[in-house]
Amino acid sequence: MTLKQFSKDYRNYGDWLKAQPRTSEYAKRVIRFHERFPTLSLNDLRNTRLKDHNLSTTSWKLLNSQQKRDRTLSLEILRNVRKGVPFSKAIEKTGANKKNVINNLGKYLYKSKGKWRVTASDRIESEMAFNDRDKGLISIVTTRSKDRSLIAEYFNAVNQALKSGDSKFLKKFENAKVIDAEGNEHYFVTDLDRLYEIQDAQEEPEFFELYV
């Protein structure tokens, strides 16, 4: 793909960057935005707003099917980077579109000293399976990484409890709850007999990797 001329005076971004010291706040903003949107011209970078390219604050229910898949994949990359995997390697590992990932992670992904980094936590909505004390296995929309991590940790504990027949793995979750995007409270199923019933009702029980 041939990139369009970067500006009237510079053929590409590299020429613009080398032309003079780029230390002004204006230049820093252009550099910062070019890192996120490398195909935009200088004029586009001047006029672009981060919120116009940021899906991280969009509620789950407003996303279309493809956007939901993109967000789920972006959160997988976010998890991998938090575990120490370089951003480029995480992109390569999943085969995700880098532009989509950047748009989905928004302010929770940033560049520091030439490297892409992520924040320690986020408030991105995501749909997850949940063993609800009152309703059984349902799906809920979570609103923050702390809840995603807790749910994933719970399902790992469930796997251990079901395999061993020992409910001690579930003790931590007896009074724990998650509040979904609609403000509803959900308590975890910790009764072992109930969990066996839920497992039997599933054709293919899933394994949930711990989200950190």
What tens digit of pLDDT does each residue of 38-83 get? 777 888 778 776 666 678 989 999 999 999 999 999 999 999 999 9
Q: What is the number of domains present in the chain?
A: 3
The residues, ordered by sequence, that sit 6+ positions from 65 with a Cβ below 8 Å of its Cβ are: none
- Do both 18 and 72 map to the same domain? no
- Do both 44 and 90 map to the same domain? no
d(CA 42, CA 108): 25
- Do both 42 and 83 map to the same domain? no
Tell me which residue has tokens 């011209």: 41
- Do both 65 and 42 map to the same domain? no
The residues, ordered by sequence, that sit 6+ positions from 39 with a Cβ below 8 Å of its Cβ are: 3
Among residues 104, 129, 124, 119, the alpha carbon closest in space to that of 36 is found at 104
- Do both 27 and 84 map to the same domain? no
d(CA 15, CA 4): 14
d(CA 123, CA 189): 25
- Do both 114 and 130 map to the same domain? no
Question: In the chain, what percentage of residues exceed pLDDT 90?
Answer: 58
Return the structure tokens found at 26.
Answer: 């204006």
Instruction: Report yes or no on 211 lying in a domain.
Output: no
Return the structure tokens found at 7.
Answer: 């500006």
- Do both 131 and 110 map to the same domain? no
Tell me which residue has tokens 């719970």: 154
- Do both 133 and 197 map to the same domain? yes
Instruction: Report yes or no on 3 lying in a domain.
Output: no
pTM to 2 decimal places = 0.74
Quote the pLDDT of residue 207: 52
Other CB atoms within a 10 A radius of the CB of residue 186 amount to: 20
- Do both 97 and 148 map to the same domain? no
Instruction: Report yes or no on 1 lying in a domain.
Output: no
pLDDT tens-digit map of 100-132: 999 899 989 988 888 999 999 999 999 999 999
Domain boundary among 118, 135, 154: 118
Q: Which domain holds residue 135?
A: 126-201
Instruction: Report yes or no on 175 lying in a domain.
Output: yes
Return the structure tokens found at 131.
Answer: 């063993």
